Structure 1
Amino acid sequence: MSTPNESYDLARRRVIAKTIYKGVVGLWLLLAVLQIVIWYFTTPGGYFWPVWPILGTLAAAVIAGIPVYAGRPAVSDRRIEEELARMRRAG
């Protein structure tokens, strides 16, 4: 069972992760619109090339969002403890 401080820290980390993720999705949308605008003004009616970078970055955004919204942290406490131990050993 976790203490109130641990619960607060976990909730805080989740809120931060979700906020950052929403920014990533917003950036993805902005870049998608920018690519469509570039396509429209350079090759209107031509091959719709923006579909490929848009789909690629969409896949990356979805994959990045899975740990954020799955309720499991992207970085486990075990990995954090291992890194702390390495830092202590290094001096």
Structure 2
Amino acid sequence: MSNSTDLYQAARQRVIAKTTYKWVFAALAVIAAIQVVIWYLTTPEGYFWPVWPIIGMLIAALAWGIPLFGRHGGVSEERVQAEVARMRAHQ
């Protein structure tokens, strides 16, 4: 019984990580939008400096998201059960 519980907990943690990633990605998008607004309000004709922090945030998001999501995405109880089954198959 402990083995099944451990698998469920590991799958649950992975689903939580994916959900957290989505919220962090949304926060990064808001931060990028704020930077663009600041640029527009201060120097709309000047150098578009927000490109550099936006590129950095995108690289970080990709580096975190690609291994986390692989070929799959989404969070639901079905996803947790699918992750448990996948992990059980690889034991």
Q: Same fold (TM over 0.5)?
A: yes
Q: Larger radius of gyration, structure 1 or 2? A: 1
Q: Deviations over 1:71-91 (max 9, x none)?
A: 8xxxxxxxxxxxxxxxxxxxx
Which residue of the partner structure matches residue 38 of structure 1? 38
The aligned residue for residue 24 of structure 2 is 24
Q: Can you list the C-alpha shifts for 1:24-46, whole angstroms capped at 9, x where unaligned?
A: 10111011000000000000122
Listed as ranges, the matches of 1:1-80 within 5 Å are 3-70=3-70
SS class of match (2:19): helix
Matched pairs, number: 70
Structure 1 residue ranges without an equivalent (≥5): 72-91
- Flag structure 2 segments of 5+ consecutive residues without an equivalent: 72-91
* Structure 1 ranges of 4+ moved more than 3 A: none
State the partner residue of 1:87: none
Secondary structure of the corresponding residue to residue 47 of structure 1: coil
In the alignment, the residues of structure 1 paired with residue 9 and residue 34 of structure 2 have an alpha-carbon distance, to the nearest angstrom, of 37
Give 1:69 shift: 1.0
Q: State the Cα RMSD in Å.
A: 1.9
Taking every aligned residue pair, what percent have the same amino acid on both sides? 54
Report 1 or 2 for greater relative contact order, CA contacts < 8 Å, sequence distance ≥ 6. 2
